[in-house]
Amino acid sequence: MQLIHPLLQKCFLGQGVETEALEALLKAPGVETVRYEKGEVIYDRTHTKRSLGLVLSGEVEVTKPQGQAGTVLMNVLGPGQCFGAASMFQEYGFYVTDIHARKRSNILFLPQEALMQLFGQSRRAMANYLSFLTGRIFYLNRRIDAYTGGSAECRLAMYLLDNQQDGVPPKVTLPFGMNKLAELLGIGRASLYRAMETLEKKGIAAREGKCIAILKPNDLLHYDGAQGIREQHHVVSM
């Protein structure tokens, strides 16, 4: 019997999928686990794989080149999170973002052919994939609305809704400092602190170090641009 990593069963692809189908997936040609050291490139525009990447351990950073402006931080992905879902089936063989290891990381790569085999065996796996892509389109549209016209509070609210972890109360554990979060949200550091202070004064959230507790999740949804994010809160890089 093939040992199935619990993160594969918990990620969007494996939820509710038959054990036999996941075992067959891990035995498919091209499926591999690769270790990357800190700073090592996983994907860039010239170095890609037609594979879904699942972070098993460590952290990876997703950045987007911005010409002479350098790069913009898009996301930081940890164990159980994926990248490459949308680009897997696109016609052109290049990746629109760069991904590198933020610390030593182990990545499980599931190639296109292996996923097609899985979809043939499990209708649930195919439904999971399509549902995820649909959710990403919805989320990215909301993100554009928030980032082009939303306030700092709106952007922070969207980030918290998108990254909250189950619990009472739900919380967000930042994988980086406030400077990086400000960069990710496209706002100044001072604006981020003012936005956090606003949420705390309203009793909506409370921060202690890198942990932000969401005290009133429903109130976060009242910020324009944040509506609906909770229903589609999978975290992945396209």
pLDDT, residue 176, reads 85
Q: What count of other Cβ atoms lies within 10 Å of the Cβ of residue 4?
A: 15
pLDDT, residue 227, reads 44
pLDDT, residue 237, reads 55
Q: Is 216 exposed, middle or buried (0-12, 13-18, 19+ CB in 10 A)?
A: middle
Q: What count of other Cβ atoms lies within 10 Å of the Cβ of residue 185?
A: 21
Longest dimension (CA), the chain: 54
Q: What count of other Cβ atoms lies within 10 Å of the Cβ of residue 145?
A: 16
In sequence order, what are the beta bridge partners of 63?
73, 98
pLDDT, residue 220, reads 76
Distance of alpha carbon 67 from alpha carbon 71, whole angstroms? 8
Architecture of the domain made up of 150-233: Orthogonal Bundle (1.10)
Average confidence (pLDDT) per 10 residues, the chain, 238 residues: 77 93 94 96 81 94 74 84 85 77 96 96 95 82 67 86 78 87 88 92 91 86 49 46
Distance of alpha carbon 181 from alpha carbon 179, whole angstroms? 5
Please state, in angstroms and as integers, the Cα–Cα distance from residue 161 to each residue in 55, 131, 222, following that order: 21, 19, 12
User: Tokens standing for 204?
Assistant: 């909506």
Q: Is 196 exposed, middle or buried (0-12, 13-18, 19+ CB in 10 A)?
A: buried
pLDDT, residue 225, reads 41
pLDDT, residue 230, reads 40
Contact 60, 44 (CB under 8 A): no
Contact 175, 169 (CB under 8 A): no
Q: Where are the domains of the chain?
A: 6-121, 150-233
How does pLDDT run across 3-22, given as a tens digit for each residue?
678 899 989 999 999 999 99
User: Of how many residues is the chain composed?
Assistant: 238
In sequence order, what are the residues at sequence separation of 6 or more whose Cβ sits closer than 8 angstroms to the Cβ of residue 190?
Answer: none
Angle value at C-alpha 12, between 28 and 146, nearest 5 degrees: 135
CATH (residue range 6-121): 2.60.120.10
The gap between the terminal CA atoms of the chain, to the nearest Å, is 32
Contact 228, 138 (CB under 8 A): yes
